[in-house]
Amino acid sequence: MDTRHCDGMTRRAFLHTGVAAAVAAGATTRPSRQASNAPPRPANDALPWYRRAYRWGQTNITEKDPVHYDIAWWREQWKRTEVQAVIINAGGIVAYYPSRFPLHHQAEFLGGRDLFGELTKAAHDDGLFVMARMDSNRTAEDFFKAHPDWFTRDAQGRPYRAADKYISCINSPYYDEYLPGVLREIVERSHPDGFTDNSWAGMGRESICYCDNCARTFRARTGKALPRKADWDDPAYREWIQWSYARRISVWELNNRVTRDAGGPDCIWAGMNSGSVTAQARSFRDLKEISARADIMMLDHQRRDDDTGFQQNGDTGKRVHEMLGWDKLAPESMAMYQSGPGYYRVASKPAAEARMWMIAGIAGGIQPWWHYVGAYQEDRRMYRTPGPVLTWCKANEAFLVDRTPIATVGLAWSQRNTDFFGRDDPGDRVDAPYAGFMHALVRARIPYLPVHLDDIERHAGRFTALILPNVGAISDAQAAALRRFVQNGGSLVATGQTGMYDERGDPRPDLALADLFRCRRGTAAPKLREGTRQGAQSDHTYLRLTPELRARVDGPKAGDEPSAVGERHEVLRGFDETDILPYGGTLSPLTIDTGALVPLTFVPPFPTYPPETSWMRQPKTDVPGLVLSEHGRARVAFMPADIDRRYAREHLPDHARLLANVVRWAAGRQPLSVEGPGLIDCHLYEQPGQLVLHLVNLTSEGTWRAPIDEFIRVGPFKVGVRLPAGAARARARLLVSVGEPRVTVLNGVATFVIEGILDHEVVVLT
Ligand SMILES: [Zn+2]
């Protein structure tokens, strides 16, 4: 079926089924401005090219390739894989055309050939769009010798180098004069549709450049000398961080002016960005500021880590689109070669691993983009990997773009927090707590969306709960926005050191959100807690569930233990046969306001070894591990215990259950329920007249380290989807296994059964 006619021809059909009628009446499943105001999808050819290039391919050309590049074969591969846009190496470190700039290093085996031009013409002849690929942050020695003042310098004045290359300075004429000239030359010669740049953002945060350009411009901006070293407490270093971010935005804007002036308004320059906020922070690429300027988000995020799994790609897609807009595209480079663990540029990645990374990204709204290094492969298996996924994407294109996600839960983040709270250890302070919640929400099948801390007002009414996973650095303005969110009935779940620091990373005298958390800190100033080593005796801590229910449970009882009984809070559901949970962190006393509940208290460390000594010295304290309060309709859970980070690190199911229980208590009714065995990542979307549900089978991911080699079918699943208000009937179509399960609708919830999921399933409810 040509699904592109959904908005027009078959729309009348939806009106008879119920879902479409309800959506058309404005009764969306969740309050969502984007959905209710979303204009009908314009005819495809009315959109600029970068809004309709849904499938991408890239052969990263090596210097040897010009000798034997088989253009005819690659044209066949483009066709087989149904790509609409390709990325072709043009210039930068290596030029693949005879550049008029004598110091623009031409590929060693180019031999005067205009390979970039030939490939661009071939792609254009085949109806494909072309992004010219740049990689422009370093040069060979001859360039350095000709322009020594354009290059980065360490504190001793020595040039920074990467292998045999010299790293150019982003504050030098290399970026202001030389690169714009190269961009213009490429446009004039070959007319690509746009540009990417693999390493446009210059040298990363690990190194401070002390060249004359940097010293002069930093002093002109700040009145200060460049910081002598990385020191987050030094005001000059903090200003250097902010100044470095601002320069990258200037470069982004400059390059766009250059390419559009030369090639027309749609000749965009799109740089390259990472799916990891920490990676963005390391290279001064502000994801939010860039999103505000980008027409398309080109993502270099090629594979999963064992730590964060395939689900991280769904998270990336949602995070990027929440800032960029769901009407824009976010293609992502996906390695078809083995890219970790182990890095083998010309060996095939196991097809199952590559396929799952693609599928997980597509579920989060990412456009697939296959990526090879080298135009000739002896391991030819990788050529077959992307075709089936991209062919499926083409057939189901209408369901994969222009959609509005449905979720009641927002998972908050900010790059400023990554910088100024994360400092030199964002992995432990920022990424791990976020990932812990991501994993717990996926495991609990609770749809969520990443939400930037500065966008909370924009999303007012969209989420019933916001999660702040150890978001240490919160500004007064952000705290005020969170307060208004709660005043308007929104719930909060916050963990660890949330709000203990200001936006500069300086400790606050008390919690920024003490009034919402209904607890206050004692007099001790906070210290950034470093990551704890697994297995250290000081980590042998627990949380006590209150009240204890030992009297109800079989088992021997210690003489001094109370036989208290009572009703436990619903956030402790599922723990009826235990009075303690493993914890592993440390906690400090807090003053609790009246009216707040403390369902978990801290059990301080006691020895693990020798076993004879392993008994609780202090079984009970009043140090809270979780504080619950109600504020009108809003519920607030403050979990000083960093259970989210513990879950990311130790993967204990108790921690995941506790996190999910607290989120359910705070967020209330969920738009989706999925019952059945397995680890499933769920993404729910709304389109005009229909709902689209992705179910990604991560089950094998939970059993194997990367890479996986086979899929394990799971099911059956009983799925319940809350329909838009007023819808009384629904029809379900399965886009992967192809079928129409029987749907029953009761109390506004459509229920159906999916018999099995191999890698993924996509359900369209109309
Ligand atoms: Zn410099």
The band of 70, judged by pLDDT with boundaries at 50, 70 and 90, is: very high
CA 699 – CA 711 distance, rounded (Å): 8
- 197 and 92 Cβ atoms separated by less than 8 Å: yes
The rounded Å distance from CA 22 to ligand 1 centre is 58
Distances (CA, A) of 400 to 186, 392, 723: 33, 11, 20
Could you read off the pLDDT of 641-659 as tens digits, one per residue? 999 999 999 999 999 999 9
The band of 459, judged by pLDDT with boundaries at 50, 70 and 90, is: confident
CA 357 – CA 360 distance, rounded (Å): 5
The rounded Å distance from CA 279 to ligand 1 centre is 21
pLDDT at 18 (0 to 100): 64
* Residue (of 750, 739, 740, 757) closest to 677 by Cα position: 757
* Sign of the Cα pseudo-torsion (51, 52, 56, 62, in order): negative
The rounded Å distance from CA 154 to ligand 1 centre is 9
The rounded Å distance from CA 234 to ligand 1 centre is 20
The rounded Å distance from CA 292 to ligand 1 centre is 27
The rounded Å distance from CA 215 to ligand 1 centre is 7
Query: What percentage of the chain reaches a pLDDT higher than 90?
Result: 85
The rounded Å distance from CA 516 to ligand 1 centre is 45
Question: Which residues fall within 8 angstroms of residue 178, CB to CB, at 6 or more apart?
Answer: 101, 147, 150
The rounded Å distance from CA 172 to ligand 1 centre is 7
Read off the DSSP letter of residue 174: I
pLDDT at 522 (0 to 100): 67
The rounded Å distance from CA 206 to ligand 1 centre is 14
Q: What token pair was written down for 688? A: 């005009």
Lowest mean pLDDT among 16-30, 41-55, 707-721: 16-30
pLDDT at 536 (0 to 100): 59
Could you read off the pLDDT of 223-249 as tens digits, one per residue? 999 999 999 999 999 999 999 999 999
CA 723 – CA 728 distance, rounded (Å): 8
3-state secondary structure at position 32: coil
Could you read off the pLDDT of 391-435 as tens digits, one per residue? 999 999 999 999 999 999 999 999 999 999 999 999 999 999 999
pLDDT at 19 (0 to 100): 74
Residue ranges of E strands in 453-603 = 465-468, 491-495, 519-521, 542-545, 580-582, 590-592, 597-603
The rounded Å distance from CA 209 to ligand 1 centre is 5
- 288 and 253 Cβ atoms separated by less than 8 Å: no
Could you read off the pLDDT of 4-30 as tens digits, one per residue? 333 333 333 343 456 766 655 444 444
Could you read off the pLDDT of 532-553 as tens digits, one per residue? 444 456 889 999 999 887 655 5
The rounded Å distance from CA 263 to ligand 1 centre is 30
Alpha helices in 651-755 (DSSP H): 653-667
The rounded Å distance from CA 414 to ligand 1 centre is 27
The rounded Å distance from CA 249 to ligand 1 centre is 16
User: At CA 589, angle to CA 588 and CA 590, rounded to 5?
Assistant: 120
* Residue (of 67, 70, 691) closest to 383 by Cα position: 70
The band of 144, judged by pLDDT with boundaries at 50, 70 and 90, is: very high
The whole-number average pLDDT for the span 142-149 is 98
The rounded Å distance from CA 90 to ligand 1 centre is 25
How many CB atoms are located within 10 Å of the residue 207 CB?
14
Judged against a pLDDT cut of 90, whether residue 215 lies above it is answered with yes
Judged against a pLDDT cut of 80, whether residue 283 lies above it is answered with yes
The model's pTM is 0.93
* Residue (of 199, 139, 202) closest to 169 by Cα position: 202
How many CB atoms are located within 10 Å of the residue 489 CB?
14
Find the helix packing angle between 179-190 and 115-125, rounded to 10°.
50
Judged against a pLDDT cut of 90, whether residue 212 lies above it is answered with yes
Query: What percentage of the chain reaches a pLDDT higher than 70?
Result: 90
CA 703 – CA 682 distance, rounded (Å): 19
CA 323 – CA 292 distance, rounded (Å): 7
Lowest mean pLDDT among 47-61, 383-397, 516-530: 516-530
Q: Which amino acid is at 354?
A: A
Average model confidence (pLDDT) across the chain: 91
Judged against a pLDDT cut of 80, whether residue 531 lies above it is answered with no
The band of 307, judged by pLDDT with boundaries at 50, 70 and 90, is: confident
The rounded Å distance from CA 19 to ligand 1 centre is 58
pLDDT at 4 (0 to 100): 35
Q: What token pair was written down for 16? A: 């008879």
Q: What token pair was written down for 64? A: 């040897």
Judged against a pLDDT cut of 70, whether residue 524 lies above it is answered with no
Give the residues across from 466 on adjacent strands: 410, 492
Q: Which amino acid is at 235?
A: P
CA 626 – CA 644 distance, rounded (Å): 13
pLDDT at 27 (0 to 100): 43
3-state secondary structure at position 76: helix
The rounded Å distance from CA 167 to ligand 1 centre is 10
pLDDT at 521 (0 to 100): 84
CA 695 – CA 674 distance, rounded (Å): 9
Read off the DSSP letter of residue 3: G
Residues with CB under 5 A from ligand 1 (ion): 169, 171, 209, 211, 213-214
User: At CA 427, angle to CA 505 and CA 415, rounded to 5?
Assistant: 50
> How many residues does this entry show for the chain?
766
* Residue (of 166, 178, 188, 77) closest to 122 by Cα position: 77
Alpha helices in 61-170 (DSSP H): 71-80, 115-125, 141-146
